[in-house]
Amino acid sequence: MNSEIDYTIYWGLRALPFDNVPDPRFYVPSSQHDAAHRWMNYGIQTRKGMLLLTGDIGCGKTLLSRRLIVGLLPAQYDVALVANPALSPSELLDEVLSQFGLGLVRSKAGRLRTLNARLELNARNGISSVLVVDEAQAIERVQAFEELRLLTNFQLNDRFLLTVVLIGQPELCHRIAEIPQLNQRIAVRAHLGPFTAEETTAYITARMGAATHRTDVFTKEAIAVIYDQSKGIGRLINALCDQCLFAGAVEHVSQIDDRIVQQVGKVI
């Protein structure tokens, strides 16, 4: 039996609503996510230079960043995404050039000239340049952070040529606080925490609604147990809901109740 096909057909799903992948189709706004998105968008639109988005593990940082990127129109924004920044300083600079679609250059001075030329060209064409660095807490060397800070030195008299968005887990705040010259460059900050009980209900309902016409699959009692077991952490909510849907399909039930959630919660 193909469990994935059974799963989707049984519940009438157009897609898997609780996959732990950053699919912007399944972005569910909450007050804190909306606020973070608003602040990041503001920082990018007004070219604030350097922005910081932190969040607890599994609380939707990457999904929010992908939604942010999707909303930046290619005609107005040139966006580079570094998803794995655990690199040496020189490798990190190479990766930045690569993500902007620029060829590799041997010398550091050559790399910086190449990047500056791209940023100036974008500015002349009315295009804003944005560098998003996800999982920035994985950056090991202070010098790599320094390389990112120095990129904000690309400026015109009235604006930055590049907006750098650092995204990472809470320890990123502590890392940055230990580098005063970098910390002072952060113009906009936002943080994501776990969902509240009400936000958990809205999250589950909305994600189901994005995949099927049914939004009553999970009972109120089931959602209460999901919130209790997940502590409002989006990634854990996804794992619980996904396995509950599979378990419900196996048992041929019409709704997911608290019994199924308790049963699934024992094994994940």
| SS3 of 2-44 | CHHHHHHHHHCCCCCCCCCCCCHHHCCCCHHHHHHHHHHHHHH
Residue 153, SS3 per DSSP: coil
pTM: 0.86
Residue 79, SS3 per DSSP: strand
Q: What is the CATH number of domain 3-21+195-265?
A: 1.10.8
Q: What is the CATH number of domain 31-192?
A: 3.40.50.300
List residues bridging with 51 in a β-sheet: 165, 188
How many Cβ atoms are within 10 Å of 39's Cβ, its own excluded?
A: 18
Q: Take residue 76 and report the two structure tokens written for it.
A: 């107005």
The pLDDT value recorded for residue 23 is 81
The pLDDT value recorded for residue 7 is 84
The pLDDT value recorded for residue 2 is 47
The pLDDT value recorded for residue 103 is 86
**Phi–psi pair at 129, nearest 5 degrees:** -100, 130
The pLDDT value recorded for residue 162 is 97
Residues of the chain with CATH 3.40.50.300: 31-192
Going across the sheet that includes 162-168, the strands are 77-82, 128-133, 162-168, 50-55, 188-192
In order along its 268 residues, the chain shows pLDDT tens digits of: 444 557 889 999 998 999 988 888 888 878 899 999 999 999 999 999 999 999 999 998 988 999 899 999 999 999 999 999 999 999 999 999 999 999 888 899 999 999 999 999 999 999 999 999 999 999 999 999 999 999 999 988 778 999 999 999 999 999 999 999 999 999 999 999 999 999 999 999 999 999 999 889 999 999 999 999 999 999 999 999 999 999 999 999 999 999 999 999 887 7
Q: How far is CA 219 from the centre of its chain?
A: 29
Q: Which residues contact 33 (CB under 8 A, 6 or more apart)?
A: 27, 60, 64, 192
Residues of the chain with CATH 1.10.8: 3-21+195-265
